[in-house]
Amino acid sequence: MVTTATASATVHAPDALMLVGGRWVAARSGATFPSVDPATGAIVGEAPAGEGADATLAVDAAHEAFASWSRTTVHERAALLRRVAAILGGREGMLAELITAEQGKPLGEARNELRFCCHLLEWYAEEGRRAYGQWIPDPLADRRLLTMRRPVGVAAAITPWNVPASMVVRKAAPAIAAGCTVVVKPAEQTPLVALAVARAFDDAGTPPGVLNVVTGGPEPIGAALLADVRVRKLTFTGSTEVGRALLRASADTVKRVSLELGGNAPFVVFDDADLDAAVAGLRAAKFRNGGQTCVSANRVFVHHDVAAQLGARLRALAWELRVGDGRAPETEIGPLVDRRAVEKVAAAVEDAVARGARVLTGGSALTEPPYDAGSFFAPTVLAGVHSEMRLVQEEIFGPVAPLIAFDDAREVLEAANATPYGLTAYVYTRDLRRALRMAEELDVGMVGINDTRVSAAEAPFGGTKQSGLGREGGREGLDEFLETRLVALGLGEPL
């Protein structure tokens, strides 16, 4: 781990207003809450502290807007999404600074996140034009059966802080392309990024009520959105625990639900793997965004024959990673999102060490200057990890790589699947047959084979088991916001 200097940068945060019904408004109570820079502890800006009544006003607006937005042509919707992409692209520098200030990731990663937003907007601008129905061969001569795809209605989108811009866009773009209207409730750690994204939608000419953002308390806003019968769809990304509660709360009004929840990704390195590729893969899948993504490698299974070698290389990698303020150009790992996150990661590491894990490098929070005002954790590699340890059973969400040695493929497959989660798995091997068999038998939504880049605007992203319901991205991401309506057309007598 290498320390980088703290860079000072000015971020032009939006005013403490949120977008409801096409107007920038304060919370009804007038209250605000601060957004804190995790690298410095400084206040980035204030966001409205919305509550249930604010959420209901947003639903009023979204419901009213749905009547006209659902009748727009696919060309109008595509044109809007392209304009938003152009505006976000033009603001990449300023918005990347805001992402880094509020969430902590290095500027380069923040820029990549914004490019991903543009890809999503451009993809759904196109994909919305392909929401085809069907003409179904009919067993009756005097009837015709056809289907059309209809927008679900008002969608509530509850988004997390780890990729605060692209999570909003990954939900809003397909929803709007489908003809739905949206109420976004962003994470309380990153409200300003969500508001800046909303500003781009507003500046692009999004009609009032089509996209609304309500910042503030998760429970009251969530409860108001889920109790409202006019909200027909919930799309959520966050922890499995909260997802489960939201799914339960959606039952009363039988909402359509998409959930992107926690993961516990196995990263399997066989003895024939290209170790350079595996180390590069771990650098991305373990340390990007400080390990704070649901597809981060959580358990590194390595074949006994290459365990020592991989351990040494990973230790060197973690040791050399430059940790610091995300604004410093040389920074490779920024802070964790807040102090609570640091405590959680530290507790998981302590539990592992108490149960016999060996710390190859790192292992604790960084509390000395220049890290003392922020929430930093040292890039960590642990060896001698086994299944009793908490960090094997739970999502770590931090820059900690636990190494677990294995002997044969069947053993590692069973261990990899021995979790309630099923989001992503990574397999490094040169044996094509083994790679494909693993891809077939790993119970997950996404498998990276000699590659960790499982997320693309064009491809379905999502999990099995308790990692979620539904998919985001790709054609499937649009389907989540569409209903299929059957039309049975009586033709009467032949002409």
Question: Which single residue is written with the structure tokens 């088991």?
Answer: 465
Q: Which of 260, 395, 472, 480 is catalytic?
A: 260
Choice from 153, 222, 266, 468 touching ligand ADP (CB under 6 A):
222
d(CA 411, CA 382): 21
Question: Is position 260 annotated as part of the catalytic site?
Answer: yes
Burial class (CB in 10 A: 0-12, 13-18, 19+), 146: middle
* 227 near ligand ADP (CB under 6 A): no
Toward ligand ADP, which CB reaches closer, 4 or 235? 235
Which among 284, 365, 275, 350 is positioned nearest to 311, based on CA atoms? 275
Choice from 163, 168, 187, 427 touching ligand ADP (CB under 6 A):
187
d(CA 179, CA 272): 49
* 188 near ligand ADP (CB under 6 A): yes
* 242 near ligand ADP (CB under 6 A): yes
Q: Cβ(352)–Cβ(133) under 8 Å?
A: no
Around Cβ 175, how many Cβ atoms within 10 Å?
Answer: 30
Q: Which of 51, 102, 294, 472 is catalytic?
A: 294
Q: Cβ(449)–Cβ(472) under 8 Å?
A: no
Toward ligand ADP, which CB reaches closer, 148 or 245? 245
Which among 287, 299, 309 is positioned nearest to 389, based on CA atoms? 299
Q: Cβ(206)–Cβ(80) under 8 Å?
A: yes
Question: Is position 117 annotated as part of the catalytic site?
Answer: no
Toward ligand ADP, which CB reaches closer, 7 or 223? 223
Toward ligand ADP, which CB reaches closer, 214 or 382? 214
- Chain residue whose CB lies nearest ligand ADP: 222
* 238 near ligand ADP (CB under 6 A): yes
Pull the structure tokens for residue 206.
Answer: 């999004």
> Distance from CA of residue 177 to its chain's centroid?
19
Toward ligand ADP, which CB reaches closer, 21 or 218? 218
* 348 near ligand ADP (CB under 6 A): no
* 159 near ligand ADP (CB under 6 A): yes
- Applying CB under 6 A, the span of 27-35, 144-152, 180-188, 435-443 interacting with ligand ADP comes to 180-188
Chain residues in the site for ligand ADP (CB under 6 A) = 158-160, 185-188, 218-219, 222, 238-239, 242, 245
Residues known to be catalytic = 260, 294
